[in-house]
Amino acid sequence: MGTPATPTANEAATRDGYGNALIKLGASDSNVVVLDAGVSDSTRTNKFQEKYPERFFNMGISEGDMVCTAAGMAKCGKTAFATSFICFLLGRSMDQILVSVAYSDSNVKIIGTHAGLAIGEDGPTAQAIGDVGYMRAVPNFIVICPADAVEAEKAIIEVAKRKGPAYVRLGRGNVRTIYDDNYNFEIGKASVVAEGNDVAIIASGIMVQESLAAAEVLKKEGINVRVINMSTIKPIDRQAIIAAAETGTVITTEDHNIYGGLGSAVAEVIAEENLDVKFSMIGVKDRFAESDSQKVLFKKYGLDAEAIAVAVKKAIAAKG
């Protein structure tokens, strides 16, 4: 699985990792095509456009058409990446995704950027907090939420190798670089990014960095936290969850509604495997937020490192 990079001040957005991956894929595979709904500078598909303009298609504000076009290209042997902000991409094209991509088992990669409350000032109508729930319920789709730009780049390359539908959830803002270039991403496999046996945190996306920050604080207090990056949410790594349960306490953290997302997926495994473990979820508690900075929203809605640390201490105290 590889090991995390030595913590540094390096930061980058996962959408930047996507742009970098597209350039590499464009060079290695002439069947890779990229479609965007008029926001290529923000989704970073403009990097591919600059290198391979003949294989880039700006569909404008017409997400449904974009998805159907991508499905048509896939049926002609292309590996098609359809890209936009999550709120537009899923909000305006779920019927096309369901029929033209999922039901048809098309080789289309749905890449959504600007996830969760982390987009901050864009406000509640753009803060996608239900997308993982949508997409993991759709047959034939895999669902991936990378933790940093390195993992995003490697995940996109692996997704391109796998025939069939995929959904990749990317963020807007910079996140802490967790991995180095030696990291080996594998679809369906979690990665332990911090060792500990007192409690296990299973996180995805931007919440991996928040969980690591909480673990660093708790370590100074003598609490050793295992942090697991569950970047593939479907198919989920059942063995990693079973191993996490051996700590006696499992907490999930996600920038997503607590219903339908990572927490729900982990809870399903705990129930199905009849695991004897205390379990709780940190996420958006089934409500809309407001327009404000990521820092303010994460603090207000209990998603920051401080809130995670408090939750861990409460869980340990409850364990007795």
CB–CB of 69/57 below 8 Å?
Answer: yes
Positive or negative CA dihedral for 98, 62, 114, 75? positive
For residue 117, which amino acid is it?
Answer: L
Neighbours of 23 (CB within 10 A): 16
Q: What are phi and psi of 109, to 5 degrees?
A: -105, 115
For residue 29, which amino acid is it?
Answer: D
Kindly give the pairing relationship between strand 249-257 and strand 278-284.
Answer: parallel
Active-site choice (50, 54, 63, 121):
63
- Residue 26: helix, strand or coil by DSSP? helix
Three-state secondary structure string covering 36-50: ECCCHHHHCCHHHHH
Q: At what angle do helices 14-28 and 149-161 cross, to 10 degrees?
A: 40
Q: Verify whether residue 221 is a known catalytic residue.
A: no
Q: Which residues are catalytic?
A: 63
